[in-house]
Amino acid sequence: MLKKERAAFILDTLHKLYPETPVPLDNKDNYTLLIAVLLSAQCTDERVNKVTPALFQLADNPFDMQHVPIDEIYQIVRPCGLAPQKSSAISTLSKILVDRFNGEVPSDLKGLESLPGVGHKTASVVMSQGFGYPAFPVDTHIHRLAQRWGLTKGKNVVQTERDLKMLFPKDRWNQLHLQIIFYGREFCSARGCDGRVCKICKTCYPNRKKPFIARKP
């Protein structure tokens, strides 16, 4: 199978499996989405969704959140890991949103990435899921699967994102990045598939003899 053939097969397979792609992180607007995505760094979506109701009961907008003591934020977000950094970032970015953006979440990558605790991946998720702007957020799971499926050499997440954007139609990026995540969780996890088990791996590489070891980002 050539790379373009693999990409076409993957696109078709994932669309049939996941015609609907609900946003995994519970949110009610772009601010609560931004906070939830920030908390999801090195943490499962399931755990974030258990933590955010208490946090958003405390404050669900930057105007209120800027006045919440960091220690109160810290106590709530502790289960998500990296709590000192995340609680500080939530407090500081809330102040910045009020001071510089009139309390609104910026609708461009540059503005988002200027906020503390918001890297390119987090900004891309907000652009995609919050604003509907075509983006292809690449996390460690997508980075791993893209290598297993022969869609990228996987030197780093930047290269992987670039390669995936070149392979797939722009109007499918927002849905596709979620479909890949869903498929990885269900059929092609880090331990559940070694590149020779799931349908996509077996179809793309039917003659693969050894376990595939992906480069870490």
Contact between 182 and 18 under an 8 Å Cβ cutoff? The reply is: yes
- Check residue 188 and give its pLDDT: 97
- Check residue 153 and give its pLDDT: 92
Catalytic residue selected from 139, 153, 155, 210 = 139
- Check residue 118 and give its pLDDT: 98
Domains and CATH numbers, the chain: 3-20+136-204 (1.10.1670.10), 30-130 (1.10.340.30)
Closest-CA residue to 55 (of 73, 43, 67)? 73
Mean pLDDT of all residues in 79-100:
98
- Check residue 41 and give its pLDDT: 94
- Check residue 77 and give its pLDDT: 98
- Asked whether residue 103 carries a pLDDT value surpassing 90, the answer given is yes
pLDDT band at 136 (very low <50, low <70, confident <90, very high): very high
Q: Which two tokens stand for residue 71?
A: 């220690």
- Check residue 216 and give its pLDDT: 85
- Check residue 210 and give its pLDDT: 96
- DSSP at 22: -
pLDDT band at 73 (very low <50, low <70, confident <90, very high): very high
- Asked whether residue 171 carries a pLDDT value surpassing 90, the answer given is yes
- Check residue 217 and give its pLDDT: 79
Per the prediction, the chain carries an average pLDDT of: 97
pLDDT in tens, 142-155: 999 999 999 999 88
Can you spell out the DSSP letters for 65-120?
Answer: HTTS-HHHHHHHHGGGS-HHHHHHHHHHHHHHHHHHHTTPPPSSHHHHHTSTT--H
* Whether residue 165 lies in the annotated active site: no
pLDDT band at 161 (very low <50, low <70, confident <90, very high): very high
Rounded to 10 deg, the angle between the 140-148 and 157-167 helix axes is 60
- Asked whether residue 55 carries a pLDDT value surpassing 90, the answer given is yes
* Whether residue 210 lies in the annotated active site: no
3-state DSSP helix/strand/coil % of the chain, to nearest 5: 60, 0, 40
- Check residue 149 and give its pLDDT: 98
pLDDT in tens, 176-211: 999 999 999 999 999 999 999 999 999 999 999 999
Catalytic residue selected from 121, 153, 199, 202 = 121
Euclidean distance between CA atoms 106 and 101, whole angstroms: 7
- Asked whether residue 166 carries a pLDDT value surpassing 90, the answer given is yes
- Asked whether residue 19 carries a pLDDT value surpassing 90, the answer given is yes
- Asked whether residue 24 carries a pLDDT value surpassing 90, the answer given is yes
